[in-house]
Amino acid sequence: MPTYEYIADEGGCEYCSQGFEIRQNIRERALKECPKCGAAIRKVLSTCNHYSPSPSFSYDRAADAGFTAYERSPKGLKKIAGDGPADPSTSIEGLP
């Protein structure tokens, strides 16, 4: 089952104001309200994990293939390769 990230549009509780992850069946509709406080929430674009057993993986090759690579830092995520958004937590217009 995939994991999706949601965040409150405005306000919200401690659970949803900073964003939360939830496992949902791919056929389930996107949540509209926080399961804890009922505040309006939206699904956000999130990063995915990548594992490559091959030592040939490189950030440059990933960027050449159209991917964007991010690294965790104390201030959040930092883009290190590719043409993707500087902040991957922003939602893309038109996505649920």
Given a cut of 80, whether residue 56 has pLDDT beyond it is: no
Q: Is residue 22 part of a domain?
A: yes
Checking if the pLDDT of 78 tops 90, the result is no
Burial 58-90 (b: 16+ CB within 10 A, else e): eeeebbeeeebbbeeeeeeeeeebbebeeeeee
pLDDT for 54 equals: 64
Reading the block at residue 27, the tokens are 């056929």
- Answer whether residue 13 is part of any domain: yes
Rounded CA gap, 27 and 30, in Å? Answer: 9
Does some domain include residue 30? Answer: yes
pLDDT in tens, 29-51: 999 999 999 999 999 987 776 66
pTM here?
A: 0.51
Say how many domains are in the chain. 1
